[in-house]
């Protein structure tokens, strides 16, 4: 990352993320390493390290940095997990996760977004990401079970396929609801989901059989 961008990135992590309680070192290191500006349209890159979601086209956005860090942090990643991401969007959250885990499967329902994200992720050298176009509500059954699932678009209810594909002892973070949405963190224990609502949010609605996958509008 070029020095001026790096300085802005480090300032973002210190002032917008660490000061708001994100302390897990692997998350902070990932946020410091990924060049967020590259995942944004050229004419909006001056906004890259501000604490806001930014449009990336087609009604989609790149998520607010704090929300990306927060959702990553609550998954309590150790660096050994197989992770499913539903809603590649810009690919920014994908890159953050790929900095931490060895196996990342990412689904995007919009071919244009998937193609753009794939090109950039390959350019940045993320060889541990498998990305494909598909209905995220159906998950990626042939790669299951997943130790963690992260969803960046809001269904009205949690898709059953995602619950089925979550490993015992695994966790899923997902925004749920239409008008009033809540970010839910669920752990699978003894085959059942233990759900905790943790934050009111505003994400784009999930497309596909559950209900366009992409970045948040938080």
Active site residues: 63
Whether 83 and 103 have beta carbons less than 8 Å apart is answered as yes
| Strand-strand pairing, 166-176 and 103-108 | unpaired
- Name 194's bridge partners: 187
Whether 188 and 169 have beta carbons less than 8 Å apart is answered as yes
* 35 Cβ contact list (under 8 Å, min separation 6): 1, 5, 9, 124
Whether 174 and 196 have beta carbons less than 8 Å apart is answered as no
Concatenating the DSSP letter of every residue in 42-70 gives GGGGGGTTSSS-EEEETTEEEPPHHHHHH
Apex 50 CA angle, 87 and 123, nearest 5:
50
């Amino acid at each position: 990352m070029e020095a001026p961008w790096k300085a802005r990135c480090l300032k973002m992590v210190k002032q917008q993320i660490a000061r708001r309680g994100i302390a897990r070192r692997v998350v902070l290191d990932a946020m410091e390493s990924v060049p967020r500006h590259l995942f944004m349209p050229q004419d909006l890159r001056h906004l890259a390290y501000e604490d806001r979601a930014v449009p990336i086209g087609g009604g989609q956005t790149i998520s607010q940095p704090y929300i990306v860090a927060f959702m990553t942090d609550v998954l309590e990643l150790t660096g050994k997990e197989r992770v499913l991401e539903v809603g590649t969007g810009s690919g920014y959250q994908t890159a953050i996760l790929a900095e931490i885990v060895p196996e990342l499967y990412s689904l995007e329902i919009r071919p244009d977004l998937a193609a753009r994200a794939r090109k950039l992720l390959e350019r940045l050298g993320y060889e541990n990401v498998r990305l494909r176009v598909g209905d995220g509500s159906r998950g990626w059954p042939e790669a299951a079970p997943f130790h963690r699932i992260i969803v960046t678009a809001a269904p009205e209810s949690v898709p059953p396929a995602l619950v089925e594909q979550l490993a015992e002892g695994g966790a899923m973070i997902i925004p749920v609801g239409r008008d009033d949405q809540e970010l839910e963190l669920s752990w699978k224990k003894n085959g059942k989901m233990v759900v905790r609502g943790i934050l009111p949010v505003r994400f784009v609605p999930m497309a596909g059989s559950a209900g366009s996958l992409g970045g948040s509008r938080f």
